Structure 1
């Protein structure tokens, strides 16, 4: 058994938590880009782009993130593409996040009253102009709370990357618990750190929902 003091355990876990935060930020930023591309394809009204985007969303929403991590990490090398645990974690989480954000934002776009789009058409505005000046500004107000709320799922989803060997908070907790034989203390700290990361985001989402009066 390795002798670790309580402060040593906490310090090592906080160091690993930095990677959890970095991975979450990259996954959310990359997922936002992928989600926007899929969103525009979904609402474009064009058959093929919408069909491809719908297939992407259904695929990543309909399969567990764990399976996606396995397929990327173990599947890509089978076709000659070597990936590290970090690369597999980033790619999987970006695609996973993008699929869910696209669906969240599609619902927000469709929640904008149809009369807004019809009025913009009456003013002879093109599709990009209608989206830029009429639809998206109104959809943004609706989208902010659920988007912030979904970020909590992204943070918690990073824990699954430990299964392919990426050392983030959950993986570090397992390693330290195995070394110290003190799982209660270690996993107690892991849970508290996750709570400290996720609870402010949950509260922010609720506050934004009240502030923006989304229900109205």
Structure 2
């Protein structure tokens, strides 16, 4: 494998990182809304949010990407592959992060909410100043763990022709006929992205467990 092939893999890596960042940030914003809806105490809103989470957690990511790209095209809304996978990963991430953060919000001791109400804080102030800072801290290990899964999941974007790292590896492999070498490099690049995050998540989990003893 020569320099040009390696640079092509790095170009795919760039798009993997970009797609992961868009899916995580967009999914984080939407996931926070989903988590707040799930813990709102308003029954219809909670049911809608629960149904949304169930839909995306109960179906494969591959199918979700397929539906966004090909399904919308059937009704006349033809999306570019980049836009389609960005939407697909954002929706996918929002459901998982929403459920992670819902659990973290409910893990905050109920006394914190009662104390905030006793101080006459409104809902926005209670969530922003009291509940969410604690919930985010609780959720960090699981959130980082999901980010690792999201990065690896970007390989499924190849189904709609999006050239991220895994598809770039497949293209190079078909050109130079050295699949073990090419996918060894691809695996090493994924490892370089995911392993530090996994270590950081494990460290955070141990630190939080120590702090709560």
TM-score calculated relative to the size of structure 2: 0.94
Deviations 1:74-119 (Å, cap 9, x if unpaired)?
1001111111111111000000001000000011111111121122
1:141 maps onto 2:174 in alignment: no
Report SS of the residue matched to 1:205. helix
Give 1:174's aligned residue.
170
How far 1:215 moved relative to its partner? Answer: 7.0
Determine the C-alpha separation between the residues in 1 that align with 2:151 and 2:107: 27
Determine the C-alpha separation between the residues in 1 that align with 2:36 and 2:205: 24
How far 1:129 moved relative to its partner? Answer: 2.0
Give 2:40's aligned residue.
44
How far 1:208 moved relative to its partner? Answer: 2.1
Report SS of the residue matched to 2:77. coil
Structure 1 residues 96-175: aligned runs within 5 Å: 96-175=92-171
Unaligned runs of 5+ in 2: none
Unaligned runs of 5+ in 1: none
1:55 maps onto 2:57 in alignment: no
Report SS of the residue matched to 2:31. helix
Give 1:197's aligned residue.
193
How far 1:122 moved relative to its partner? Answer: 2.3
Going from structure 1 to structure 2, the CA distance change for 1:29 and 1:214 (only over 3 Å counts) comes to farther
Determine the C-alpha separation between the residues in 1 that align with 2:187 and 2:211: 32
Determine the C-alpha separation between the residues in 1 that align with 2:158 and 2:59: 18
Deviations 1:123-146 (Å, cap 9, x if unpaired)?
232222221222112112101221
How far 1:16 moved relative to its partner? Answer: 1.1
RMSD value, Cα = 1.4
TM-score calculated relative to the size of structure 1: 0.93
User: How many pairs are equivalent?
Assistant: 212
Determine the C-alpha separation between the residues in 2 that align with 1:122 and 1:76: 49
1:70 maps onto 2:37 in alignment: no
